[in-house]
Chains A and B, each alone.
Chain A
Amino acid sequence: RKEVEQDPGPFNVPEGATVAFNCTYSNSASQSFFWYRQDCRKEPKLLMSVYSSGNEDGRFTAQLNRASQYISLLIRDSKLSDSATYLCVVNKEAGTALIFGKGTTLSVSS
């Protein structure tokens, strides 16, 4: 099993749609979880951290399920500007190395 696995997509949705991305991780000792977005040929940018109780930031909601080793990102009311690749990031065991999934591509159309 890969350390961090994501559905590559692409997800093609109309403006206003709700879309959800999933990510699974292999190491049960992982403690830190994040979602990043990356625009074409740009550096990744931190979207949000993921907490055990779940957290929300505007139209974005992140969830963590430690038992299933599963992280999700929900985007409500999609905007054209949400088009990007979304990367799931997990720390490697209890250390500080952060491992990235390959990303899920989202395309929002009008």
Chain B
Amino acid sequence: NAGVTQTPKFRVLKTGQSMTLLCAQDMNHEYMYWYRQDPGMGLRLIHYSVGEGTTAKGEVPDGYNVSRLKKQNFLLGLESAAPSQTSVYFCASRRQKSGQFFGPGTRLTVL
């Protein structure tokens, strides 16, 4: 099992560009999450999903959109990137009442 994988691992964008981050899990987990981590801020929840076709807002959803068209995939979109979105993005998945498993992260820089 690959666990949780994230694509891409690194990306540099210019302000105003758009991109999609892909998260895939092969553990048949119901729940999936997107976090961002900034120095001194800890992990902050952007959006999450409790099942295929469902999404919900987390602590810092503004500027991001998500989709969960397939149970194993959770996409995070930035429609118009801003320098404030420079961060490390982590995806995670889990079963109900269990802990989360994280992907290796995507390091995004917005110039």
Residues on A facing B (Cβ under 8 Å):
32, 34, 36, 41-46, 49, 87, 89, 95-103
Give the nearest-CB partner of B31 in chain A: A96
Q: Is the CB of B42 within 8 A of A100?
A: yes
Residue in contact with A99 in the complex, picked from B59, B102, B104, B105, CB distance below 8 Å:
B59
Give the nearest-CB partner of A35 in chain B: B99
- In the bound assembly, the distance between CA atoms of A42 and B100 in angstroms comes to 15
Beyond A43-B103, A44-B90, A45-B102, is A99–B97 a contact (Cβ under 8 Å)?
A: no
Q: Provide 17 A-B residue pairs closer than 8 Å at the C-beta atoms, listed in order of the A residue.
A: A32-B97, A34-B100, A43-B102, A43-B103, A43-B104, A44-B43, A44-B100, A46-B99, A97-B33, A97-B48, A97-B56, A98-B94, A99-B45, A100-B35, A100-B43, A101-B42, A103-B42
- In the bound assembly, the distance between CA atoms of A34 and B98 in angstroms comes to 9
Return chain A residues, CB-CB under 8 Å to B42.
Answer: 87, 100-103
Return chain B residues, CB-CB under 8 Å to A96.
Answer: 31, 48, 50, 96
Q: Add 17 more A-B contacts to A45-B102, A46-B99, A89-B100 (CB < 8 A).
A: A36-B99, A43-B90, A43-B105, A46-B100, A49-B99, A87-B42, A89-B99, A96-B31, A97-B33, A97-B48, A97-B58, A98-B45, A99-B45, A99-B59, A100-B44, A102-B41, A102-B42
Beyond A87-B43, A96-B50, is A46–B97 a contact (Cβ under 8 Å)?
A: no
Return chain A residues, CB-CB under 8 Å to B102.
Answer: 43-45
Q: From residue B59, how far is it (CB to closest CB) to chain A in Å? A: 7
- In the bound assembly, the distance between CA atoms of A103 and B43 in angstroms comes to 9
- In the bound assembly, the distance between CA atoms of A36 and B99 in angstroms comes to 9
Kindly state whether residue B64 has any CB partner on chain A within 8 Å.
Answer: no
Q: From residue A40, how far is it (CB to closest CB) to chain B in Å? A: 11
Q: From residue A47, how far is it (CB to closest CB) to chain B in Å? A: 9
Return chain B residues, CB-CB under 8 Å to A41.
Answer: 88
Q: From residue A52, how far is it (CB to closest CB) to chain B in Å? A: 13
Q: Which 10 A-B pairs have the closest CB atoms?
A: A102-B42, A43-B102, A46-B99, A100-B43, A34-B99, A96-B31, A96-B50, A44-B102, A43-B104, A43-B105
